């Protein structure tokens, strides 16, 4: 067998090729390094920093909400949130027991959260700890655990104004009430800063401020918390005592339309997330529509006076009657009544006979002009317009008749209060506002001369023989009207479920406050508006007038005890 002989020239050639290749690679590496270090030295810096430079937001506190006098209703308090670099914490598993106890979590819960987020750079473990609790976490010195300053919304007045003010979520975004409507104004904008972080998230350098933080703008509203506290206490007491389904109250400044108080029951504490359930969060003064009942009778009378169909001495036979197949009657047979008597005794028959002096459907005109069937535009979320039959081409007699005593359309508590500003302002209706207002331009609805004749009739309602003697306020003249309405249930009227209402204003001779109280489905011994809603009106109005330094209009108020028959023979109800 012959042996192969190596070719020296071939071996040298291979060595030469390999050497050239290595030399070329080395030269290319040197050239690349020289290029980066000499020609583009910033490239390496930027590439390194890109892995550690982050944009961080600087949170700003949400602006305050305050009442007309500057009383805080919503404020933001500083809190700390605990966040983690998940993988770093996972590598320090021996500290989980202490960490979980400090966070109020089970070890298994903490472990799962970290493992599920192991590929992330940032994970919230616990939001909104008090600074003291947060420092307990920091003391553990667990690698990968950090604090972030945030803010938590707090409501100093708790349930008192909850449905009006509303609340935010954990990120301070408005969810209900004024917090939602004015979210953009209150929020402001966070600052943005470029920072350098190490691999586990520690900030090692502040590079530059990209944009400064801009706080939100404070929101001042028209509520007077002194009156709101009083209204809340009085309404909740009545709601509980009468075992009602719900209740609401609205107090307006009679001269500006500003909302001084707005209360709903049941209520809730916005500081307790577990109480934020729908039936408690609802602002029932603007969301719950109901038939206003006899509180509409003053409108029926005012329309007839304005059209010259009646005068204060026109009499009406209030014996029971039929309109078509519908029987209409009163709680008693009052015989002949003048317009004042129709209002004082709350006569359905009298109201219907007054309405029948006008064309069918004509009542809808003053009803709509007073704002029924349209939202008030008060800038509170969830406001309902109610239901008013405005598009009816042909009116039946029974539909015209029922409008006269407040059936056949629905309203909200706020809408009813808005309508009564026309009685308090000699025919000019004021739109309500939740923001402070110094001057108000009213919408003319009735002639001032008509209101001058109507107001004494409404004062008589609070006399000893009226339906609302319990609405009286000592040393002040009070005007108003009761309503006791059978509730609509399943397409018909219930015979054992009522809405109790009182709407009025005081002092009657120079009105300062318009106040409406509505109690739905009282289940106690009383259900008439004069027995359920009127006492709440009296308590709130009495305190509110004093808080606003309204001087008494009479030194001593005594009511003439007149016979019912005097309401038909020219003798009115007057003060001595």
- Find residue 151's DSSP bridge partners: 78
Query: Token pair for residue 499?
Result: 């809405």
DSSP letter string, 496-514: EEEEEEEEEEESTTS--EE
Q: Is 438 left (phi over 0), alpha (psi -120 to 50) or beta?
A: alpha
Report how far residue 511's alpha carbon sits from residue 254's, in angstroms, rounded to the nearest whole number.
6
Per-residue b/e over 61-82, b at no fewer than 16 CB within 10 Å? bbbbbbbbeebebbbbeebbbb
Per the residue annotation, which of 294, 346, 460, 500 is the catalytic one?
294
* Nearest to 251, CA basis, from 548, 552, 575, 576: 548
Report how far residue 504's alpha carbon sits from residue 513's, in angstroms, rounded to the nearest whole number.
9
Sign (positive/negative) of CA torsion 329, 243, 517, 466? positive
The DSSP symbol for 379 reads S
**Distance between the two ends of the chain, CA-based, in angstroms?**
151
User: How many other β-carbons are positioned within 10 Å of the β-carbon of residue 275?
Assistant: 16
The distance of Cα 523 from the centroid of its chain, to the nearest Å, equals 27
Sequence-distant (6+) residues with CB within 8 A of 490 are none
Query: Token pair for residue 509?
Result: 């001779």
Contact between 558 and 475 under an 8 Å Cβ cutoff? The reply is: no
Contact between 400 and 360 under an 8 Å Cβ cutoff? The reply is: yes
Query: Token pair for residue 313?
Result: 């001495």
449 is catalytic: no
Catalytic residues: 294
């Amino acid at each position: 067998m012959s042996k192969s002989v190596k070719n020296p020239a071939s071996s040298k050639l291979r060595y030469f090729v390999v050497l050239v290749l290595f030399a070329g690679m080395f030269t290319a590496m040197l050239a690349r390094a020289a290029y980066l270090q000499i020609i583009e030295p910033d490239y390496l810096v930027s590439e390194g920093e890109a892995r550690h430079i982050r944009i961080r937001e600087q949170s700003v506190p949400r602006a305050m909400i305050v009442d007309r006098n500057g009383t805080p209703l919503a404020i933001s308090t500083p809190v700390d949130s605990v966040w983690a670099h998940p993988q770093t914490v996972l590598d320090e598993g021996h500290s989980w027991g202490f960490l979980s106890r400090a966070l109020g979590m089970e070890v298994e819960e903490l472990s799962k959260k970290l493992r599920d987020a192991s590929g992330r750079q940032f994970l919230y473990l616990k939001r909104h700890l008090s600074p003291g609790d947060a420092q307990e976490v920091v003391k553990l010195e667990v690698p990968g655990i950090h604090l972030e300053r945030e803010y938590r919304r707090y409501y100093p007045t708790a349930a008192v104004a909850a449905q009006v003010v509303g609340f935010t979520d954990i990120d301070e975004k408005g969810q209900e009430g004024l917090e939602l409507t004015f979210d953009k104004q209150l929020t402001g904008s966070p600052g943005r800063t470029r920072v350098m972080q190490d691999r586990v998230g520690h900030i090692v350098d502040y590079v530059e401020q990209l944009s400064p933080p801009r706080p939100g703008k404070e929101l001042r509203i028209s509520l007077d918390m002194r009156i709101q506290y009083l209204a809340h206490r009085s309404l909740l007491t009545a709601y509980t005592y009468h075992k009602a389904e719900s209740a609401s109250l609205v107090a307006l400044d009679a001269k500006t339309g500003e909302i001084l108080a707005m209360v709903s029951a049941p209520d809730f504490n916005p500081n307790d997330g577990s109480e934020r359930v729908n039936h408690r969060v609802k602002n029932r003064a603007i969301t719950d529509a109901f038939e206003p009942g006899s509180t509409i009778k003053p409108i029926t009378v005012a329309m007839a006076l304005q059209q010259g169909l009646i005068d204060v001495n026109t009499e009406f036979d209030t014996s029971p009657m039929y309109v078509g197949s519908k029987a209409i009657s009163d709680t008693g047979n009052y015989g002949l009544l003048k317009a004042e008597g129709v209002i004082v005794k709350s006569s359905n028959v009298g109201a219907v006979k007054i309405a029948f002096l006008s064309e069918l459907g004509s009542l809808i005109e003053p009803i709509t002009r007073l704002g029924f069937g349209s939202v008030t535009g008060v800038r509170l979320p969830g406001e309902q317009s109610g239901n008013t039959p405005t598009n009816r081409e042909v009116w039946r007699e029974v539909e015209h008749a029922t409008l006269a005593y407040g059936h056949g359309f629905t309203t909200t508590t706020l809408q009813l209060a808005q309508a009564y500003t026309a009685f308090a302002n000699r025919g000019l209706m004021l739109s309500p506002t939740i923001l402070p207002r110094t001057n108000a331009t009213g919408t003319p609805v009735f002639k001032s001369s008509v209101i001058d004749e109507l107001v004494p009739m409404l004062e008589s309602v609070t006399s000893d023989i009226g339906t609302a003697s319990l609405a009286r306020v000592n040393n002040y003249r009070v005007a108003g009207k009761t309503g006791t309405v059978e509730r609509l249930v399943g397409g018909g009227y219930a015979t054992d479920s009522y809405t109790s209402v009182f709407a009025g204003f005081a002092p009657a001779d120079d009105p300062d406050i318009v106040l409406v109280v509505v109690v739905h489905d009282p289940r106690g011994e009383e259900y008439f508006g004069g027995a359920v809603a009127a006492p709440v009106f009296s308590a709130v109005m009495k305190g509110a007038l004093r808080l606003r330094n309204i001087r008494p209009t009479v030194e001593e108020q005594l009511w003439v005890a007149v016979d019912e028959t005097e309401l038909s023979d020219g003798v009115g109800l007057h003060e001595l």
